[in-house]
Amino acid sequence: VRFPEDLEDDNTTFNPEYSHQVFGDDEVAFGYKGLKILLYYIAGNLSTLFRIKYTSKVNEKFDCVEADDVESKIREIIPPGFCTNTDDFVSLLEKEVNFKPFGMLLHTYSVHNEEAGEDITYQIYKADMTCPGFREYHERLQTFLMWFIETASFIDVDDERWNYFLVFEKYNKDGATLFATVGYMTVYNYYVYPDKTRPRVSQMLILPPFQGEGHGAQLLETVHRYYMSSPTVLDITAEDPSENYVKLRDFVLVKLCQDLLCFSPGKLMQGFSQEMVMEAQQKLKINKQHTRRVYEILRLRATDMGDAEQSRSYRLDVKRRLIGPYKKKQRELAKMRRCLRPEELTNQLNQIDLNMQHEQLEESFQQLVSDYRRVLERLAQA
């Protein structure tokens, strides 16, 4: 909500992707007809208005069953101090002009908005719990995780090893410049013996109204650049990354790596090298596993897949990496031959069908190439 009229504007409304963490695996609230759970957030500081509407509700006295206590379920997620009255909420909205982003400005960029016919400015900040008001703001911000990240949990904000990176949109209202929350990322700094840290991306969310505009890539690249400048950082990783996050990371890391000398076309065609591992880690804080994916994507770009020899060379190179888990199965099979009875061995052999492995390997390769091509297409448009 930026303006009072947004309260009644369906265009500013977006729905949750998940609700199982609040309402159970079936995502059901029992005992209501026409139930609407309404959560309004002021665009910048995320002050909250919470209301429930329904046309009818079962009654314990007459229906002998009790409706789910929806209000208490929502209250468990949203922090105290929310509004239940529209007038109170609108009066808070009038004070929004005083809201300013928290922490240190790291990056400013603009995105052309077709609808508005103009460039809109965005800023990325790094904050921590010492910023006045940030703790309360973060409590409101993290409520979105429950609706948009499948296995979300709230973090221990008293642990000083957390870093917070925030994206804001700058917009004008009655001649004043205001800020709207776009998304954020939390990063935990793990200790690595003897004197390094390994920042690990824990949570990342771009709010639905802003998705598909490139903010995730801007945020991840900014975070990488922030840690790249630190001599104590070993490399940057992610905790249980989603498929979409992996695709985003591929794009950002390839963009960062493509100008390194070790990734020149001539060197790419010679194969994956220790030089690539060292340079990517030292200059860009990228670990070996991620560097290998960057190499495969850039080598695909340098490869003429219409040339039979180049295509075969690329396919074998990628499949040598993909075959690792299958080779592990073969080693396990060799151990089984030595210690299993014949009937047990036959049972295990049935599970490790070589033809099936070859099919799975080819399927994995084709899927990977398809993903890599999408990264290269996006890179060409950047």
Residues 89-105, mean pLDDT to the nearest whole number: 96
Summary mean pLDDT of the chain: 92
| Strand ranges in the chain using DSSP code E only, listed in sequence order | 32-33, 36-41, 48-53, 56-57, 104-113, 118-127, 162-173, 176-192, 196-206, 237-238
Share of the chain above pLDDT 90, in %: 82
CA of 265: how far to CAs of 24, 140, 257, 281, in Å? 52, 48, 12, 20
Give all domains of the chain, ordered by start, each with its CATH number.
4-96 (3.90.360.10), 266-381 (1.10.10.390)
- Predicted pLDDT at 323: 86
pLDDT at residue 342 is higher than 80: no
Residue 294 is predicted with a pLDDT of 98
Q: What is the secondary structure of 14-50 as a DSSP string?
A: ---S--HHHHTTTT--TTEES-EEEEEE-TTT--EEE
pLDDT confidence of 347, banded at 50, 70, 90?
A: low
* Predicted TM-score (pTM) of this structure: 0.90
pLDDT of residue 214: 96
Rounded CA-CA distance 132/152 in Å is 26
Residues involved in catalysis: 239
DSSP state at residue 258: T
Instruction: For 227-238, give the DSSP string.
Output: HHT-TTB---EE
User: What local confidence, expressed as pLDDT, does residue 343 receive?
Assistant: 64
Residue pLDDT, tens place only, 230-282: 999 999 999 989 999 999 999 999 999 999 999 999 999 999 999 999 999 99
Across the range 44-61, mean pLDDT stands at: 91
For the stretch 310-324, pLDDT in tens is 999 999 999 999 987
Predicted local confidence at residue 224, as pLDDT: 96
Q: What is the pLDDT of residue 65?
A: 86
Instruction: Name the band, by pLDDT with cuts 50, 70 and 90, for residue 355.
Output: low
Query: What does the longest C-alpha to C-alpha distance in the chain come to?
Result: 82
